[in-house]
Amino acid sequence: MSRLCPVCRQIPFPVLTCPTASDVRKAHERQKKGLNTESSLVPFDGFSNVRLGTLGSIKARAQACQLCSLFYNTIQRRGSWYANNRPIPENDDNILVRTVCDRFHSYVTETIGASALTGRRSLVVLRRLGLRVHVAADTEIDGVVKTPHDTLACYTNVVQPCHLDDFNRAPDPGSPASLEGQTRLLFSARKRPETVDVQLLLRWMSICQTDHDLSCPVEEDEEQPPSRVKYVLTSAPMKPVLTAPSPRLIRFIDVERNCVCVLRDVDMVKTRYLALSYCWGRDQDVKLNADNEKLFQLDNALPDCLPQTIQDAIRLTRLLGFKLLWVDVLCIFQGHGPVERQDQGVQLNNMRTIYRESNATIVAACGDTANAGLSGLTPGSRTFKQEVVQVISPDEDPVLGGLALVSTCTSNPPWTPVNRRHSPHDEDLEWSAWSSRAWTFQEQALSRRRIIFTPEQVQWCCDGAIFCEESHFEPPTLYERGVFDPPLHVQIYGGSHALSLKTIDGDLARLTTTRQNLWTKFDMFVRTYSDRQMALEGDVHSAFEGVLEAFTNLSGESFNWGHPRSRFALSLSWRSPASYFPLRRRTAETTLPMTSLKRTVQLPSWSWMGWVGSVRLAVGPDRAER
């Protein structure tokens, strides 16, 4: 049993165990009867936030209390500050820290297709422990009076629960997490390896390909002619109609021959490849152009000086058993000559197909340049060590069989009220440079499967599930038909969380998008994209064109400079969502030739694309009905 101080012993640890297999079974039975599902579980309101005291008192108790030590180390690792980057004082009795129970908008529900059609409520929520910094009494800070109820800084997702025998168990979900162990946690912490377990990544991919038939597109049988669908807008879920040509010419990196290969008239649906989404940072030294294309097609032509992220992506592609990798800098001509510009225009038109049809997209969210690499792929590239604190021994609670809290791999800084571009629940992916770039938004929104590398762990995201290295989120019992009727769908993050973004025109979109919510979704995409950064302001249309094509494929709608033609007049009333997001005129011309003039043009002032800053288009059904 770990050493705990009297303060930490006040934390109601059993509340964090939800859901166990028994919880899910009970909630499912109540749901079938039309009853509230959460009332049968350990009540969320039963979690009393425990005042831990000043940062100095936590530090002092850390000498003898392992949980206080974990809390103090987390605050120091993620950043000990509040408000306008003020350091959290250690001995100010008016600045206190308390525990909070986080929900993360997470839920376990019926299979996504069934829940989308029936509108049934989620079954249960997942809970983790966080920390909140607040004042003890009303205090004026930066001219604003803060009360004890106001948050000065918030550290979400600090620890997650697990059974001790689960923590060291290999990442292969077995009987401990199955429905046979009714008191066991279904989604518990596990030990994140020092280097990535490639077999785990392959297992995630296998789960998606074999079990997500209602939500994730499946590669077509090679004996059948390929067919891609677009969807007709109705008041019911979208219905399929027909088509979409593959690119006539596309380039890949052949990771076996270590060179660039050129494919013509290829069927992208049947082609097995991965794509890379990453931050360029500064300009790259090794780039494809018309002059070196033939040279780069020779065996072992790619130099050893490729950026680390691209080198790691090539290695990962080999480890996952793929031969082809798509990377923009080596698959699209770079430069400003007429041949390069022509190739860029052709290949950028293929972006939706390239990311949509890739078996998975490797997301490099570990840094702000192409030399950041994929953390965890090589020894020593991860530095964080998980801390484990046993809070309930098997003797104290034979039903639970003992409980431990494990520090999470989350490394993002604390949220403070002055940071309006983030929410308290944002995590490493949202705080990354990758999530601030305009081009990567399109790559994220178009990809049907994503293998996401953050500084301290890898996550998997598809339309059917979200997995991560530090947690058991893939128990097979939840996917076996017959265990529940229908089987369960696991959604670890919901709402506007970056991991909850689904493929725009995938099978899941066909089930869930209707006339009522299509424009609400489009407005969210415009608002998120317009808040992102781009090195070349003239890229604003090119970097969003794939998204517009996907919405056209989904709904049949056409767009003019980012405005839907069917709601064109209404869309002209776009605005900035708040005064603290000022707009400025975008003066750059389009990077590529546009319109019937077939030349670069200035972006129109009437379009939101003609301005720099966060935009709300507001073309949803609530506006249309006024």
Q: In the predicted model, is pLDDT for residue 78 greater than 80? A: yes
Q: What pTM, to 2 d.p., does this model score?
A: 0.89
- Regarding whether 161 and 26 lie in a shared domain, the answer is yes
- Domain membership of residue 360 (yes or no) is no
List the strands of the sheet with 449-453, edge to edge: 259-264, 249-254, 324-326, 273-277, 360-364, 449-453, 458-462, 466-468
- pLDDT number for residue 490: 61
Within-domain flag for 364? no
173 — pLDDT class (breaks 50, 70, 90): very low
Rounded mean pLDDT, 527-550: 92
Are 352 and 549 a contacting pair, CB within 8 Å? yes
Among 117-131, 134-148, 451-465, 571-585, which is the least confidently predicted range?
Answer: 117-131
**How crowded is residue 322: how many other Cβ atoms within 10 Å of its Cβ?**
18
- Domain assignment present for residue 209? The answer is no
CB contact set of 506 (below 8 Å; sequence gap of 6+)? 215, 216, 217, 448, 463
Straight-line distance from the first to the last Cα atom of the chain, in angstroms, rounded to the nearest whole number: 63
pLDDT attached to residue 37:
57
Structure tokens at 520: 């609400």
Q: Answer yes or no: do 62 and 184 share one domain.
A: yes
Residue type, 466: I
- Residue 294 DSSP symbol: H
Tokens of 15: 């509340």
Residues 45 and 179 in one domain: yes
Residue that has been written with the tokens 């829940």 in this structure: 115
Is the predicted pLDDT of residue 61 greater than 80, yes or no?
yes
Element at 389 (helix H, strand E): strand 388-392
Do 407 and 553 sit in the same domain of this protein?
no
**Tally of residues, the chain:** 626
Side by side, the strands of the sheet bearing 403-407 are 51-53, 95-102, 128-135, 153-162, 403-407, 388-392
Q: What share of the chain is helix, strand, coil (3-state, %, to 5)?
A: 30, 20, 50
Residues 415 and 531 in one domain: no
The whole-angstrom separation of Cα 261 and Cα 272 is 14
Residue 181 and residue 48 share a domain: yes
User: How far is 603 from 530, CA to CA, in rounded Å?
Assistant: 14
Q: What are phi and psi of 270, to 5 degrees?
A: -95, -5
pLDDT of residue 238 exceeding 50, the answer is: no
Lowest mean pLDDT among 44-58, 76-90, 595-609: 44-58
Q: Which residue has the higher pLDDT, 206 or 246?
A: 206
User: Is 307 among the domain residues?
Assistant: no
**3-class secondary structure, 135:** strand
Domain end marker among 396, 421, 446: 421
* Sign for the pseudo-dihedral over CA of 516, 518, 524, 526: negative
Judged on CB neighbours under 10 Å (0-12, 13-18, 19+), 237 is middle
State residue 499's pLDDT score. Answer: 64
Backbone dihedral angles phi then psi of residue 492, each to the nearest 5 degrees: -75, -35
- Both 414 and 552 in one domain: the answer is no
Give residue 273's pLDDT.
97
Could you tell me which residue, 11 or 511, shows the higher pLDDT?
11
Residues 46 and 168 in one domain: yes
Query: Torsion angle, CA of 421/424/428/431, rounded to 10 degrees?
Result: 10
Buried b (16+ CB within 10 A) or exposed e, 485-495: eebbbbbbbbe
Q: Are residues 47 and 165 in the same domain?
A: yes
Number of domains comprising the chain: 2
27 and 176 assigned to the same domain:
yes
pLDDT at 380 (0 to 100) = 93
Q: Same structural domain for residues 542 and 394? A: no
In terms of pLDDT, which residue wins out, 312 or 100?
Answer: 312
- Please report whether residue 496 resides in a domain: no
Range with the lowest mean pLDDT among 29-33, 404-408, 530-534? Answer: 29-33
| Domain ranges, residue 540 | 527-626
On average, the pLDDT of the chain sits at 83
Q: Over the stretch 243-301, which tens digit does the pLDDT of each residue have?
A: 455 678 999 999 999 999 999 988 998 999 999 999 998 888 899 999 999 999 999 99
Given a cut of 70, whether residue 117 has pLDDT beyond it is: no
66 located within any domain: yes
The reply to whether 491 falls in a domain is: no
Element (H, E) at 159: strand 153-162
For range 471-479, the mean pLDDT:
67
Query: Using CA atoms, how far apart are residues 261 and 273, in angstroms rounded to an integer?
Result: 12
Q: How far apart are CA 11 and CA 20, in angstroms?
A: 19
Phi-psi region of 373 (alpha: psi -120 to 50; beta: other; left: phi over 0): left
User: Is residue 408's pLDDT more than 90?
Assistant: yes
Which of 421, 438, 470 corresponds to the end of one domain? 421
Domain assignment present for 606? yes
Tell me: cis bond preceding 338? Omega within 30 of 0 counts: no
User: Domain ends where: 395, 421, 447?
Assistant: 421
Query: In this structure, what DSSP letter does residue 141 have?
Result: E
126 vs 137 pLDDT, higher one: 137
**518-536 tens-digit pLDDT:** 888 899 899 999 999 998 9
* Residue-by-residue DSSP string for 568-625: HHHHTT-B-SSTTS--EE--SBPSS-BTTTTB--BPPTTSGGGEES--B---SHHHHT
CB 107 within 8 A of CB 31: no
Are 413 and 533 contained in the same domain? no
- pLDDT exceeds cutoff 60 at 96: yes
